[in-house]
């Protein structure tokens, strides 16, 4: 079963031996501008990556925390190609170039692709992050789940040398439209230091939200809502240097974010233009079930690095464990009156254990610098989606994955960069016999239970990538790339809606995504310009269609084509004033019947602009603008209703501002105002989704006040 993977691994190891013989010179990695790591799993200069990349710096993260602490909001503002913020705890509908990204912490996957609940972006507090790297487009370097690209949170490292350093930040966030009950509190703290060969870092983030209000002063709807949410994050990283070449590092992350509220929803309707909102209600009408959100997700990683395991070769070994429990909201659509269930609440439970070995070999020829990156990945992922009440909606899926890969980079005459790589992956997913649930939206609209014979699903796929970039001129540095990603679709969605008696008859085939991209970068004195055109195709994309008889949204497997373009302008107006603007357009179709894809995958056009002013050594100010354009591709059905994710999207604007003042060497105070003009709008997802409870308006004018102490 894994023979092809081991063949590639053997080939990679032989390359290491060849590299060891070809070159005996030592590489000087200190001369490399180490900006980006996630694209090829090792440090490399961003100028040598022939693809569209967005790197969000620690300063950008800290500046955004003055306005909004949510990572979805930060990513939507800065990353071209990422869909607008959903304004909720869920990132469903917030795809990257029309496809789901793989979210990682230091290269360890956080998403649950076997049953994608779209909760991966909220897995770490922003205060623990040193930078965020976003690679757009399918990639084979990380395997399953990366058909849309990668969002990699790079955590902070210990910086202090012989002394203790740290910081404490306190802030409050509240509605400027209606103050009552909206006040929240947030504290974050970090400490790091080094004692001889031992280094340590620890961060804590704790936040209690008040109610969140829209521009009319009403409390936002509770479905995936953040009102009354309590968020906790505890992160630690310990390191030990055996010598200058060998390091051992241990990290632990705990993240919990649950909505603990006594409110109840008043559901509106997208077709009648009525918004959903929350209000105080009698106990029997309050939000039922357990608090929704991640219920204490944990990650443990052990990493060993040897910078000189062979001549010119670096070795990285890491092992990780992960325990995820994401609780969803109580839904009456998960009812079964015959069995006594008035509704239901599901939980995605996922346990991962993985190990990886990565080799990085540098070879110097005449006028050519070559890098070989190769290794193996092994992963066991056990995921299911039971109900809180004990029913099983998605049976346990036990995935065993083994992959080998080889990635090469060739820098010719310092200016021409060539990349080529291959990944061979073998996946087995074992599913026992199970029975689908009978679920009723109403007395006469119920699904039909189906007893399904289980089996082991096998996947074997080889994916390839090739890219070229020319850096001869700063004024025009073009690139082109082709990359593939192998994606095991959201198997859980397919299993829970099965209409056949044998798992072998369910269309669970993996899909190969082909990604094509051309673009260029330009540096003209104080102006930087980036532009990219892209297209991706998949043999078997997954969308949904509503079955009027059963009340179930059934997955549809069909070929898809997605295309678009992105642009970025970064202009230094003066020594103290910077302007950054982005624009992205993405569109997509089901090519089998030439119909447009819905809002779950395709976002409307997006324009963002940021103006940053460093007035003096103590005062800085920023103004951020988000514009989301129209997208109206669908007509109402014969009942004069929009269905699924096909609602029309009207344009809207959101303007935010922030200011920071350095009181002293140790104290900094700041203020942020989100939705400065108190625009009354629905976010893009709220307009596109006809599913019940999603039509929640955007956050009204909201103020953040805070102070930070550093030592």
Backbone angles phi, psi at 145, to 5 degrees: 95, -5
Q: Give the domain ranges of the chain.
A: 3-710
pLDDT-derived band at 112 (thresholds 50, 70, 90) equals confident
pLDDT of residue 246: 96
Listed residue (244, 243, 245, 285) closest to 261, CA to CA: 285
* Whether the predicted pLDDT of 17 surpasses 60: no
pLDDT of residue 551: 63
Residue range 316-338: average pLDDT? Answer: 93
Antiparallel, parallel or unpaired: β 451-452 and 455-470: unpaired
C-beta neighbour count of 511 within 10 angstroms = 20
* Whether the predicted pLDDT of 149 surpasses 90: no
pLDDT of residue 110: 87
Question: In the structure encoding, which two tokens stand for residue 581, read together?
Answer: 């603007």
pLDDT of residue 543: 66
* Whether the predicted pLDDT of 411 surpasses 90: yes
* Whether the predicted pLDDT of 406 surpasses 80: yes
Lowest-confidence region among 147-151, 170-174, 186-190, 343-347: 147-151
191-200, 456-465, 503-512, 602-611: range with highest mean pLDDT: 602-611
10 CB-near residues (< 8 Å, 6+ apart): none
pLDDT of residue 45: 78
Residue range 262-274: average pLDDT? Answer: 89
* Residue 434: burial class (beta carbons within 10 Å; 0-12, 13-18, 19+): buried
Topology of the domain covering 3-710? Maltoporin; Chain A (2.40.170)
Q: Each residue of 648-662: pLDDT tens digit?
A: 999 999 999 999 999
pLDDT-derived band at 637 (thresholds 50, 70, 90) equals confident
Strands, E assignment, 89-148: 102-105, 108-109, 129-136
Percent of the chain with pLDDT over 70: 92
pLDDT of residue 142: 77
Lowest-confidence region among 25-34, 307-316, 358-367, 665-674: 25-34
Residue range 182-206: average pLDDT? Answer: 95
Q: Each residue of 478-510: pLDDT tens digit?
A: 999 999 988 776 888 889 988 889 888 887 777
Antiparallel, parallel or unpaired: β 297-310 and 293-294: unpaired
Q: Each residue of 679-697: pLDDT tens digit?
A: 999 999 999 998 888 999 9
Q: Each residue of 51-95: pLDDT tens digit?
A: 888 999 999 999 998 999 999 999 999 999 999 998 888 888 888
Listed residue (600, 606, 570, 575) closest to 588, CA to CA: 600
* Whether the predicted pLDDT of 28 surpasses 50: no
* Whether the predicted pLDDT of 322 surpasses 70: yes
The pLDDT mean for the chain works out to: 89
Backbone angles phi, psi at 643, to 5 degrees: -125, 165
pLDDT of residue 7: 42
pLDDT-derived band at 701 (thresholds 50, 70, 90) equals very high
Q: Each residue of 538-569: pLDDT tens digit?
A: 887 766 676 667 666 666 778 999 999 999 99
Percent of the chain with pLDDT over 90: 69
Q: Each residue of 563-613: pLDDT tens digit?
A: 999 999 999 999 999 999 999 999 999 998 999 999 999 999 999 999 999
Q: Are 584 and 80 in contact (CB under 8 A)?
A: yes
Listed residue (449, 548, 543) closest to 494, CA to CA: 543
CA distance between the termini of the chain: 56
* Whether the predicted pLDDT of 14 surpasses 60: no
Q: Are 328 and 389 in contact (CB under 8 A)?
A: no
């Amino acid at each position: 079963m894994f023979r092809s993977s081991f063949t590639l691994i053997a080939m990679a190891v032989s390359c290491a031996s060849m590299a060891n013989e070809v070159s005996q010179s030592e590489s000087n990695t200190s001369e490399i501008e180490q900006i980006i790591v996630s694209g090829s799993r090792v440090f490399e200069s961003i100028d040598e990556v022939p693809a569209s990349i967005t790197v969000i710096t620690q300063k950008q993260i800290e500046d955004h925390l003055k306005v909004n602490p949510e990572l979805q909001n930060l990513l939507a503002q800065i990353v071209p190609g990422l869909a607008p913020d959903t304004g909720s705890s869920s990132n469903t509908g917030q795809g990257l170039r029309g496809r789901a990204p793989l979210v990682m912490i230091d290269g360890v996957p956080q998403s649950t692709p076997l049953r994608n609940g779209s909760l991966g972006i909220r897995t770490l507090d922003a205060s623990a992050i040193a930078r965020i790297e976003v690679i757009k487009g399918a990639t084979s370097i990380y395997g399953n789940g990366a058909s849309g690209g990668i969002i990699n949170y790079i955590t902070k490292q210990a910086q202090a040398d012989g002394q203790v350093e740290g910081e404490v930040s306190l802030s409050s966030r509240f509605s400027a439209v209606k103050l009552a009950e909206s006040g929240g509190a947030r504290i974050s703290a970090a400490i790091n230091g080094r004692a001889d060969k031992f280094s340590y870092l620890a961060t804590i983030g704790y936040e209690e939200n008040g109610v969140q209000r829209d521009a009319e002063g009403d409390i936002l709807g509770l479905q995936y809502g953040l009102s009354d949410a309590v968020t906790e994050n505890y992160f630690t990283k310990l390191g030990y240097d055996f010598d200058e070449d060998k390091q051992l590092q241990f990290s632990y992350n705990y993240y919990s974010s649950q909505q603990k509220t006594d409110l109840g929803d008043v559901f509106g309707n997208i077709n009648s233009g009525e918004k959903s909102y929350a209000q105080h209600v009698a106990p029997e009408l309050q939000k039922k079930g357990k608090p929704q959100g991640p219920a204490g997700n944990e990650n443990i990683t052990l990493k060993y690095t040897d910078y000189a395991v062979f001549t010119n070769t670096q070795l990285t070994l890491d092992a990780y464990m992960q325990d995820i429990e994401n609780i969803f909201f109580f839904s009456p659509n998960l009812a079964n009156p015959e069995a006594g269930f008035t509704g239901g609440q599901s939980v995605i439970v996922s346990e991962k254990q993985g190990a990886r070995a990565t080799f990085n070999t540098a070879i110097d020829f005449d006028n050519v610098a070559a890098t070989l990156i190769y290794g193996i990945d092994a992963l066991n992922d056990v995921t299911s989606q039971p109900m809180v009440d004990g029913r099983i909606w998605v049976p346990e899926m036990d995935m065993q994955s083994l992959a080998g890969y080889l990635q090469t980079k060739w820098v010719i005459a310092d200016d021409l960069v060539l990349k080529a790589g291959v990944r061979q992956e073998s996946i087995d997913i074992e599913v026992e016999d199970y029975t689908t649930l009978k679920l009723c939206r109403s007395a006469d609209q119920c699904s039909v239970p189906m007893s399904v014979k289980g089996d082991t699903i096998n996947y074997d796929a080889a994916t390839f990538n090739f890219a070229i970039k020319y850096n001869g001129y700063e004024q025009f540095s073009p690139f082109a790339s082709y990359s593939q990603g192998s994606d095991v679709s959201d198997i859980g969605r397919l299993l829970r809606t099965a209409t056949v008696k044998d798992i072998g008859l369910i269309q669970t085939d993996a899909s190969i995504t082909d990604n094509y991209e051309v673009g260029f970068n330009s540096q003209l004195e104080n102006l930087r310009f980036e532009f990219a055109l892209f297209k991706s195709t998949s043999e078997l994309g997954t969308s949904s269609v509503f079955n009027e008889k059963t009340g179930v949204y059934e997955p549809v497997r069909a070929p898809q084509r997605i295309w678009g373009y992105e642009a970025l302008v970064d202009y230094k107006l003066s020594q103290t004033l910077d302007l950054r603007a982005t624009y992205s357009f993405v569109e997509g179709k089901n090519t089998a019947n030439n119909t447009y894809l819905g809002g779950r995958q395709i976002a409307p056009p997006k324009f963002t602009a940021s103006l940053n002013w460093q007035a003096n050594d103590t005062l800085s100010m920023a103004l951020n603008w988000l514009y989301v354009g129209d997208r109206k591709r669908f007509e109402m059905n014969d009942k004069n209703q929009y269905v699924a994710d096909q609602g029309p999207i009207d344009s809207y604007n959101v303007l935010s501002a922030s200011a920071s003042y350095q009181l002293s060497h140790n104290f900094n105070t700041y203020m942020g105002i989100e939705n400065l003009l108190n625009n009354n709008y629905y976010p893009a997802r709220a307009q596109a989704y006809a599913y019940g409870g999603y039509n929640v308006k955007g956050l009204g004018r909201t103020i953040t006040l805070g102070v930070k102490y550093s030592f």
